[in-house]
Structure 1
């Protein structure tokens, strides 16, 4: 968590990118906002795990998985940029940066399940982990009675509380999912940094009309 916290960016200077295309700026703005969200969610998930608040930890961890999938999608756009013309690239990046289901003037968002399914093709098992977390996130048995109740069948009494059953199993599952999602996020985040200079080098310079490099 310390590495993630120490990596939080403070700003992006669009002029410093030095190109006329908005695409690098759009992609980086999305990535940097996502790392801030990821740090907050992961830090809070760790706090919840320490307090045996497994429902909260699962909800937060599933959100971290979605962040990893979104960042992986940004990486995929960057890696396959040759498939898109400038208009298509702008549309896709704006859907990731500013998508909304409630404001019709904004782009249509990319569905998060599509992002998770896509990353699962490369990071095998992440969809299964996401589905397991969803059992805790939704008010299904795992997230309600399974977490907060235990039946004494001999005496016909049901007890309620935290950690009444399978606490170690729940903690381990959520912690492993969190670590896996953070690993996928870190890889995609850093790989974007590796590829960005090449992408920028392919684009028209801001100063091209002035004869500058």
Structure 2
């Protein structure tokens, strides 16, 4: 969680920080330590079981990354905070894309399509050696998913671009983050504290505020789950 002193010492917006904290607290209430296939005396359809597992894995990842990002900010490490915030945005976008595609398939009651989507997303891989063996599980490029989400939430692409500039060893993530040039004396000086400013706080927030989109998508998906269960009702007697 963001600490107020750590935000206000660079004149950052505490209102924004508290929104991010609120979203992190909300995710924590939705995190489960386990999911039972035989819940309430009924066997959950295996595809529904897998969807719930994917939801939890995304929730845990977002919560872990966002807490890491805010902890790094509180410790005065803006670059690490930004890099983790970028990973939060990527995960939110991935979940949104999954929800968006799933909702379209659910509307068509496309049982086979839903199964295929769920298996592909929960087993997504990018390591070339693995892809050669399991090409059907090759992950969708995150830039492609960001472009799709940006159509509904303009600004996501711009935010990702700024986060990436700091996360990569480009000018913003190297000299401008740690260096300061004295042109009068021809001197470069370096300090970890150079990276901490109101501007870098805003960059961190540009990734963390997307947690709110994750919560919106999660709520919509939870509302959809009874209908998906009905589509897979014949699977009730099947085990994973």
The number of aligned residues is 206
Q: Does 1:132 align with 2:155?
A: no
Q: Does 1:191 align with 2:214?
A: no
Cα distance, 1:166 vs. partner?
6.8
Distance 1:90 1:207, change over 3 A: closer
Alpha-carbon distance in structure 2 between the residues aligned to 1:46 and 1:95: 31
Alpha-carbon distance in structure 2 between the residues aligned to 1:84 and 1:201: 10
Distance 1:63 1:76, change over 3 A: same
Deviates more, 1:182-191 or 1:23-32: 23-32
Contact persistence 1:27–1:74 (CA under 8 A): no
* Structure-1-length-normalised TM-score: 0.87
Instruction: Give the match for residue 120 of structure 1.
Output: 150
Contact persistence 1:45–1:58 (CA under 8 A): yes
Deviates more, 1:94-103 or 1:133-142: 94-103
Instruction: Give the match for residue 93 of structure 1.
Output: 118
Alpha-carbon distance in structure 2 between the residues aligned to 1:207 and 1:126: 40
Distance 1:206 1:85, change over 3 A: closer
* Structure-2-length-normalised TM-score: 0.78
Cα distance, 1:6 vs. partner?
3.0
Alpha-carbon distance in structure 1 between the residues aligned to 2:158 and 2:206: 12
> What is the Cα-based RMSD across aligned positions, in Å?
2.1
Instruction: Give the match for residue 8 of structure 1.
Output: 31
| Gaps in structure 2 of 5+ consecutive residues | 1-23
More helix per residue: 2
Distance 1:3 1:19, change over 3 A: closer
Instruction: Give the match for residue 102 of structure 2.
Output: 78
Distance 1:159 1:84, change over 3 A: farther
Cα distance, 1:25 vs. partner?
2.1
